[in-house]
Chain A
């Protein structure tokens, strides 16, 4: 062929290809094979009211469903907790439903534990495997060797689980959750007599003082309080509420404040009592409130003798003038409000510090009044889920547990220093009811996959965020995507397989029937009226939202309540060897890790550091300069418990003696998006602090930093690849 001919042919081919590229393809129209269920019209969306269980706040959601697919989630405007608003974690629930790595059918382990080698089996096989193990326990009179591990349960689900365990004959039910507000219930019980959670009237307050309560991101009910905070700032014509934040790390909440008081970690209780003394000394306190609660000013001043301004300023590391000014503002701006959060509670002296802050509210006359604090923001709840974990772990370690039935992901969300992971490895038969192959499912011998939230029936009782007894209802919005079964129905099916008195104790054909029965009993104890229209209406509006009744409980200081006396904070790790304090906090996208499997949340830049698809350690620039660490360097964080390598973020909004790591990443499993990404700071934490009773003290560990290299591979939203990690998403 001549060179000229070759070029001509080549040119023609290129032109042909170019023209063919211009030719737009006609799209395809794919009809249904058989007519869909009634109510499905192609092109028309249907909205289902349901409830979100992505965190314990329990917001109401509306799900848009078109052609039988869940497309979009927004807040339910009728729900009193979130009033139509919704956070990113709630929006991402659709990604739980359609996650490409969902467990599609029951699996049986076929390789060594933890390697993730499983064989698909049928539900009949799976159920008979589980029932076989349980029958063996019954036969050997070892019924108490079954342990159930779940998140804290409420309502019908709690009744079901308790009924199952009672009928089977096992008392082992672990309901530990890392960020559960047990500490606040305990403090409320010790001070006021009832183990409930408070409800803060943030919207109407004029002076908000938050002691480490990150209510915009995670504390109690973030959507509720985030919305209330917006109203506090903007909805009144002449008043813009003032906000002071106390805490060593400037969180997103802290960044929204007018004043940031970076108190030394563990000194917040001292600060609260110092403020209390300033109030009482200057007689700025609410004398009527003091009298009503049966407290005397002189006696309190005697307790507060050691909390003079100089000592408080020295211990907290804050300027005395700033403390005095906050005391004056807090007392003179009524109504004012003090909140207390995890940054304080998870110190070794947390329980007493929390009580000191409750007392501060009493002194300023903030209890039971608009713009203040009300009791019973949620019903009574558990208080000791952490200390109850230790006997269970000990039992597992000593071979006292033969079957562990697990919902949730405790292997990732319990600090390994408690010995949980090691003890679980010794349990002969582990059953996981996960939707994804998460860290716990990887350790399991049998996986019986759970429905996603959008496929399940259920009850979501918000833990806080309202004063009246709100009950949200979850309803399935789509037909199940996988061959999964809801966890409560699994318990019922297992009871049927077991037969005998276990089956007799659980006569419900399905969890839905139990849910209806429980709801009916609550709404209509006499049982006279027709329940069907009531139920239909509950499903339509997304739950039961009763108005605030007349018989509202009031706060009353217990006459036998001890005066709060926070001891000096103790820490695990010697100060010489481990000079820095460590704070772990729920990442706004992941909470305690359950958001990490969803790419929308991985892609969501952290609001303070803009980091995406990773975890990091926040270091004050001055500290970093002293250690020769630059932004984005890889550093090793070492604690008495272990070490973790993370990229460094130089963050001016943190005390020089404090470093912070977000929770949620560092999962071994959890699907393709979470797997092996970042590090889990829980591996660094000490389980208990010497000289302190077992309590969740997640901020009482000291660490040291070492620079490893300049290759931290930190990816931020401003970074060229950070804004769009298409390689990770596969699009």
Chain B
């Protein structure tokens, strides 16, 4: 009798552990905020969408460098000294400038250190910005739509017949 319970108990315990591991595996482990609040309510929808400013006007390092780069505070103020200087968010911007402090934007898209990714190469290959960044021009606050997992990268590399050699990204 006792032996039977012991066997059943072991089987149940093994099942619970197995299910737990399965759940652990299937759950998204990336718990980072996909649409974090930013220190300034900057609207891509307004700038890139309604006003039609090109992505590379602000993210001008993208065709030159692995990083896309952010506009400097001085770049923002070049326009906003004249455009809507009284708006509350622009006042915050001006306050950052007056304190000589950089805006601590919260990163939405990030890759681990063991992945090498270059904006420059992707732009030169003719990949459009929205292939990875989705329709940023329609977003008030930037939301990450891509999983940025290795399978997601490989899917596109296979579709585009780009190299899938390990050393391409893991250098």
**How distant is the Cα of A508 from the Cα of B33 in the complex, in angstroms?**
59
**How distant is the Cα of A115 from the Cα of B105 in the complex, in angstroms?**
46
8 A Cβ contacts from A513-540 to B = none
**Do the beta carbons of A27 and B71 come within 8 Å of each other?**
no
Q: How far is the CB of B147 from chain A (nearest CB, A)?
A: 15
Q: How far is the CB of A349 from chain B (nearest CB, A)?
A: 57
Query: Among A2-10, A36-44, A240-248, which stretch is in contact with chain B?
Result: A36-44
Q: How far is the CB of B34 from chain A (nearest CB, A)?
A: 9
Kindly identify which residue among A30, A35, A41 contacts B65, using a CB–CB cutoff of 8 Å: A41
What interface size band does chain A fall in? 10 to 19
**Do the beta carbons of A42 and B72 come within 8 Å of each other?**
no
Query: Among A18-26, A187-195, A671-679, which stretch is in contact with chain B?
Result: A18-26
**How distant is the Cα of A34 from the Cα of B33 in the complex, in angstroms?**
29
**How distant is the Cα of A583 from the Cα of B17 in the complex, in angstroms?**
66
When A28-B104, A43-B61 are in contact, do A34 and B110 touch as well, CB less than 8 Å?
no
Chain B, 75-100, contact with A by CB distance < 8 Å: what is the 0/1 string?
10000000000000000000001001
The answer to whether B30 has its CB under 8 Å from any CB of chain A is yes
**Do the beta carbons of B67 and A43 come within 8 Å of each other?**
yes
**Do the beta carbons of A41 and B74 come within 8 Å of each other?**
no
Task: Name the residue in A32, A34, A42 with the highest tally of chain B Cβ atoms < 10 Å from its Cβ.
Answer: A42
The answer to whether A31 has its CB under 8 Å from any CB of chain B is yes
**Do the beta carbons of A26 and B107 come within 8 Å of each other?**
yes
When A24-B32, A43-B67, A44-B65 are in contact, do A29 and B106 touch as well, CB less than 8 Å?
yes
The answer to whether A33 has its CB under 8 Å from any CB of chain B is yes
**Do the beta carbons of A31 and B66 come within 8 Å of each other?**
no
Q: How far is the CB of A585 from chain B (nearest CB, A)?
A: 41
Q: How far is the CB of A401 from chain B (nearest CB, A)?
A: 46
When A32-B102, A34-B72 are in contact, do A26 and B31 touch as well, CB less than 8 Å?
no
When A31-B73, A33-B102 are in contact, do A41 and B107 touch as well, CB less than 8 Å?
no
Kindly identify which residue among B30, B66, B100, B103 contacts A43, using a CB–CB cutoff of 8 Å: B66
Cβ-closest chain B residue relative to A67: B67
**Do the beta carbons of B61 and A42 come within 8 Å of each other?**
yes
Cβ-closest chain B residue relative to A44: B65
**Do the beta carbons of A30 and B102 come within 8 Å of each other?**
yes
**Do the beta carbons of B107 and A29 come within 8 Å of each other?**
yes
When A41-B61, A43-B67 are in contact, do A22 and B72 touch as well, CB less than 8 Å?
no
Kindly identify which residue among B61, B65, B73, B107 contacts A34, using a CB–CB cutoff of 8 Å: B73
When A24-B31, A29-B105, A29-B107 are in contact, do A42 and B73 touch as well, CB less than 8 Å?
no
**How distant is the Cα of A412 from the Cα of B31 in the complex, in angstroms?**
55
The answer to whether B108 has its CB under 8 Å from any CB of chain A is yes
**Do the beta carbons of A31 and B33 come within 8 Å of each other?**
no
**How distant is the Cα of A391 from the Cα of B71 in the complex, in angstroms?**
63
**Do the beta carbons of A28 and B105 come within 8 Å of each other?**
yes
When A42-B69, A43-B65, A43-B69 are in contact, do A30 and B32 touch as well, CB less than 8 Å?
no
When A22-B31, A42-B61 are in contact, do A28 and B71 touch as well, CB less than 8 Å?
no
Q: Which residues of B contact A34 (CB under 8 A)?
A: 72-74
Q: Which residues of A contact B71 (CB under 8 A)?
A: 31
Kindly identify which residue among B64, B75, B97 contacts A41, using a CB–CB cutoff of 8 Å: B64
Q: Which residues of A contact B97 (CB under 8 A)?
A: 33
Q: How far is the CB of A218 from chain B (nearest CB, A)?
A: 36
Q: How far is the CB of B105 from chain A (nearest CB, A)?
A: 4
Kindly identify which residue among B31, B36, B100, B103 contacts A31, using a CB–CB cutoff of 8 Å: B103
When A41-B61, A41-B64, A42-B65 are in contact, do A29 and B70 touch as well, CB less than 8 Å?
yes
Q: How far is the CB of A136 from chain B (nearest CB, A)?
A: 42
**How distant is the Cα of A75 from the Cα of B104 in the complex, in angstroms?**
37
**How distant is the Cα of A26 from the Cα of B61 in the complex, in angstroms?**
22
**Do the beta carbons of B72 and A44 come within 8 Å of each other?**
no
Q: Which residues of B contact A29 (CB under 8 A)?
A: 70, 104-107
**Do the beta carbons of A44 and B74 come within 8 Å of each other?**
no
8 A Cβ contacts from B104-156 to A = 104-108, 110
Cβ-closest chain A residue relative to B119: A43
Q: Which residues of B contact A41 (CB under 8 A)?
A: 61, 64-65, 69
Known contacts A26-B108, A31-B70; 19 additional CB pairs below 8 A are A25-B32, A26-B110, A27-B106, A28-B105, A28-B106, A31-B72, A31-B105, A32-B72, A32-B73, A32-B102, A33-B73, A34-B74, A35-B72, A41-B64, A42-B70, A43-B65, A44-B61, A44-B65, A44-B66
A interface residues with partner B (beta carbon < 8 Å): 22-35, 41-44
14 examples of A-B residue contacts, CB within 8 angstroms = A22-B31, A23-B32, A24-B30, A24-B32, A26-B107, A26-B108, A27-B106, A31-B69, A32-B102, A33-B72, A33-B73, A35-B74, A43-B69, A44-B61
